[in-house]
Amino acid sequence: MNIKTRLREFKAGMAPTIKELKFTLSRIRKNPLSIIGIGIIIFFVAVAILAPVLAPPPPTSRDPYMIPRDGFWSEPKPPSPTHPFGTLPGQYDLYYGIIWGTRTAFRIGIIVVAAALAIGLTMGLIAGYYGGIIDELMMRFTDIIFAFPGLILAMALVTALGKNLDNVLLALVLVGWPSYTRVIRGEVMRVKQEDYIEASRAAGCSDLRIITKHVIPNAIYPLLIIASLDIGAMVLTAAALSFLGLGASQGYADWGQMISVSRDWITGKPGQPFIYAHTFLIPGLCIFAFVLGWNLLGDAFRDILDPTLRRR
């Protein structure tokens, strides 16, 4: 077999993949908001990766996430050449906090969603595939978690576990997994009724093989869309907990915590109502842009992965 024949066979084998890639890119191009969302996320990823270059930690710092401070004066300072975004109360450098807070945001969003997705996927697969008493017990436990408002339950868990960022992550995981469980359970119950599942059983395939080879690939797409949307939602919830004093400690590079320490200065001074606006507007805009980017990216995933879309 010569090289030209092998090349033709390779192209023929890759044709479906190339066609699918072209279809995916065409769906993205038709939705400008999806491109904006992807651009926003790429920007934050670049900031997170380049954080040690954009805001080098002080040589004496043991933890790069602790914001350096220029004194202990309680009144914030406006932007200056030394502090491009100004300082927070306590003279914490706002620019440094914004840059390293990007890494904190990714840590919160990705870790929480990944852990909640793993728990929800496992429980939803077992409940939906096997049904019966197993399904009943798992879903009733899920309903118990759903009975509590998410933010209130997260506040209670953080208060019980202790006020720090790691416990915030754990609390958000414990609150967030039920939604994934419900979605994947419904999809598994739909997929397991398909003819190819019955054919696999008749062929003697084990439950593990059927689940990994047939059920998960055909049921996981809605979960991926929800997960992309939840990354921004989890960051927003963590910021709310930090604002309430239940998140990161003061001085930690966390956008919600930075807004929390600045809340006493929102009204500014008499005759100068917006003199300290930078202390809460800049981290607030970062939270807004980060959440917006993930929401738009979730819409892009929906356009790409929605099985109801058909090629013309």
pLDDT tens digit sequence for 181-234 = 999 999 899 888 888 888 888 888 888 888 888 888 888 888 888 888 899 999
Q: Could you tell me if 211 and 128 are in contact, meaning their C-beta atoms sit under 8 angstroms apart? A: no
Q: How many CB atoms lie within 10 A of CB 212?
A: 12
**All residues at 6 or more sequence positions from 64 whose CB lies less than 8 Å from its CB, including other chains:** 51, 52, 57, 100
CATH architecture of residue range(s) 23-70+80-305: Orthogonal Bundle (1.10)
The tokens 């006493």 sit on which residue? 264
- Give the residue ranges of DSSP H helices in the chain: 3-29, 32-49, 51-54, 94-130, 132-146, 150-161, 165-191, 195-202, 207-210, 216-219, 221-243, 255-261, 278-305
User: 19: which 2 tokens?
Assistant: 């066609």
pLDDT at 221: 82
Give the burial string for 147-173 (b: 16+ CB within 10 Å, else e): eeebeebbbebbeeeebebebbbbbbb
Is this model's pTM higher than 0.75 or not?
yes
Give the whole-number percent of the chain exceeding pLDDT 90.
38
Every domain of the chain and the residues it spans: 23-70+80-305
Distance CA 254, CA 66 (A): 9
Residue scoring higher pLDDT (7 or 201):
201
pLDDT tens digit sequence for 160-184 = 988 888 899 999 999 999 999 999 9
pLDDT exceeds cutoff 50 at 298: yes
Q: 98: closest CA among 254, 301, 232, 292? A: 254
Distance CA 257, CA 251 (A): 8
Distance CA 177, CA 142 (A): 9
pLDDT at 219: 85
User: 89: which 2 tokens?
Assistant: 């109360």
